[in-house]
Amino acid sequence: MPHPRPVALVTGAARRIGATIARKLHAEGYDLALHYHRSEQEMQTLLAEFDAVRPGSAYALRADLTEFDRLPELVAHSVGRYGRLDALVNNASGYYATPFGEVTPTQWDDLFATNARAPFFLAQAAAPHLAAAGEHGGAIVNIVDIYAERPLPRHPVYCMAKAALAMMTRSLAAELGPRIRVNGIAPGNILWSDNPVKAETIEIVQARTALRRQGAPEDIAQAVAYCLASPYLTGQIIAIDGGRSLFI
């Protein structure tokens, strides 16, 4: 008997925005394949939370997304567990400063691997399964960034990698229709970085955001759920930034 509920694979799902996306999709009725890398305790806590609501509804997959062989394995394990795949949410992301003149090839490879290469090859592995999903097929949502379209000081490699992800979103929407919809979410300032040196301060957020405040992870999760549920939406990158992208 086919698995009765839709299934989503979410990368970087153990904490922060990824965990909030997972909670939203679980509440919407998805069973989940949840990727994480180092956040073991957070992932176990999240699994226990989901299991208390609906036993067996979430499954954890540990992988370093810079290791190419792990990418098709994530999809294979997800489909092997549930027998179907309806959605792929490419949320995992590397983010740190790379001031020009100090950039190393290792930093370049790392930021492009997590922000562009992994989403692309996960999509390539997932596509046959997504195409077989549901009445209208499956969907991919990529978490991009408003800085895919504008430079962020001291972060040129990150911005370039996210720009590649934005173009991937549009390109795959054209390539994979009509059975697979591909969209992106471009967050503004939602959570402060774990890095001690912040890209923006609260004063900048208040002065350069139309809504004069920081967003919340729930704003991103709601947008992801909307993209997955919208059968006539594809090739779009939606800025969830409180109007931050209106300002230079």
Catalytic center residues: 158
CA 1 from centre of chain: 30
In terms of Cα–Cα distance, which of 28, 135, 37 is closest to 94? Answer: 37
> Which 3 state secondary structure label does DSSP give 61?
strand
Q: Which helix (DSSP H) or strand (DSSP E) does residue 71 occupy?
A: helix 70-82
Token pair 């839709």 in the structure block, residue: 6
- Angle, alpha carbons 192-107-169 (nearest 5°): 70
Do residues 188 and 240 make contact, with C-beta atoms less than 8 angstroms apart?
Answer: yes
What is the Cα Rg of the chain in Å?
Answer: 17
Q: Which helix (DSSP H) or strand (DSSP E) does residue 185 occupy?
A: strand 180-187
Token pair 């997932």 in the structure block, residue: 126
In terms of Cα–Cα distance, which of 85, 49, 107 is closest to 228? Answer: 85
Which residues partner with 8 through β-bridges? 32, 87
Cis peptide before 153 (omega within 30 of 0): no
> Residue 137 and residue 179: Cα distance in Å, rounded?
5
